[in-house]
Amino acid sequence: MESSIKQLTADEFLSFQSGDEHIFKYVYGVYYDLIIQKVYRLCREIEVAEEIVQESFVQLFLHKEKLRDAAGIYPYLYIISKRQAISYFRRKISRERFREDLRHQWEEQSDESQQSMEGKDITRVIYDIIDQLPTQQRLVYKMNKFDEKSYHEIADAVGLSKNTVRNHIANASKIVRFKLDNLFFLLFFIKDIF
C-alpha cells in the first residue's frame, strides 16, 4: 500500500525538512490513515492508536532532518509508531501490576486497620484526633467539651477574647467532625470492597 503513495519531490522534501507547514500537512494527510490502521491492529483501542500516531508525527517533525530522502518518511513513522505502541503496552502492564500490588496492600492494610479499630475504643480515637489539633485550639476545645467551661470562662483563663475562643472551638469541632467522618467512611468503604 505504501508503494502507491506519491513520494515528495526532492524540492518538496527539502521544504519538508526546513519545516514547511504545508508540506508537513500534506505528509500528515498522506500517511495518517496508513499508520493509524497499523497501530490500531496492534492496540485495538482507537483513542490509544490516535494518541500514538499523533506522537509519531510529532517525533517525525522534531527529527525530520535525520531523514535522507522522502522514501524514509513511511519507514520512520512505522518504526516510531511501533515503538510507541510497545511502550504503551509496557506501561499498561506496569500499571496493571501496580494496581494488583496496590489492591493486595489495601487488603492487608484494611485488615490491620479493622483489627486496630476494633481493638480501640472510639473514645481513644476521638482523643487521638483532638491531640492532633494545634496547641491553642486543643486547649480551648478540651476546656469547653471536657471541662464544660463557657466561652467567657475560657477567655478569662487563657487570656483570649470571647470571639477568638468561639472561633477556636468552631474550627476544632469542624476538624474533629471531618476526621471522624472520613475515618468512618473509610472503614465502611474498605469493609464493603473487601
- 94: confidence class by pLDDT, cuts 50, 70, 90: confident
Average pLDDT over residues 52-59: 93
Average confidence score pLDDT of the chain: 82
- 54: confidence class by pLDDT, cuts 50, 70, 90: very high
The residue with greater pLDDT, 133 or 91, is 133
pLDDT value, residue 193: 46
pLDDT value, residue 53: 94
Say if residue 182's pLDDT is above 90.
no
- 6: confidence class by pLDDT, cuts 50, 70, 90: confident
Say if residue 90's pLDDT is above 90.
no
Structural domains of the chain in order of their starting residue, each with its CATH number: 2-95 (1.10.1740.10), 120-193 (1.10.10.10)
- 194: confidence class by pLDDT, cuts 50, 70, 90: very low
Give percent of the chain with pLDDT exceeding 70. 78
Segment 95-134, tens digit of pLDDT: 777 677 666 666 655 555 555 555 555 667 777 888 889 9
3-class DSSP string for the chain: CHHHCCCCCHHHHHHHHCCCHHHHHHHHHHHHHHHHHHHHHHHCCHHHHHHHHHHHHHHHHHCHHHCCCHHHHHHHHHHHHHHHHHHHHHHHHHHHHHHHHHHHHHHHHHHHHHHHHHHCCHHHHHHHHHHCCCHHHHHHHHHHHCCCCCHHHHHHHHCCCHHHHHHHHHHHHHHHHHHHHHHHHHHHHHHHHC
Segment 129-171, tens digit of pLDDT: 888 899 999 999 889 888 888 888 999 999 999 999 999 888 8
